[in-house]
Amino acid sequence: MVIPPIHWQWYEALSEPARAHAVAPLMNKLRGFLLRPFVRAAIAAGPSTVDMDAVLNNGGVCLVRIAQDALGVETAALMGSIVVSSVWQATTRRARMPQGKRPDASLFLDEAHNFLTLPYALEDMLAAARGYRLGITLAHQNLAQLPRHLEESIAANARSKIYFTMSPADAKRLVRHVEPRLSEHDLANLGRFHAATRLVVVGEEAPAFTLRTEKLPAPVPGRAAQIRRELRRRTPTPAPTPPDPQAPQPQADPRRSAS
Q: Tens digits of per-residue pLDDT, 51-66? A: 899 999 998 888 888 8
Q: What local confidence, expressed as pLDDT, does residue 169 receive? A: 95
SS3 212: strand
Where are the chain's structural domains? Answer: 51-156, 159-215
pLDDT at 14: 83
Distance CA 176, CA 182 (A): 9
The DSSP element (H or E) to which 110 belongs, if any, is: strand 105-110
The region that residue 193 occupies, defined by phi over 0 for left and psi between -120 and 50 for alpha, beta otherwise, is left
Per-residue pLDDT at 140:
93
Which of left, alpha, beta for 203 (phi over 0: left; psi -120 to 50: alpha)?
Answer: left
Q: Can you say whether the dihedral through the CA atoms of 143, 148, 154, 160 is positive or negative?
A: positive
Q: Helices 37-44 and 16-34 sit at what angle, rounded to 10 degrees?
A: 100
Low-confidence stretches of the chain (pLDDT < 50) are: 1, 250, 252-259
- Tell me which residue of 148, 203, 146, 191 sits closest to 166, measured CA to CA: 191
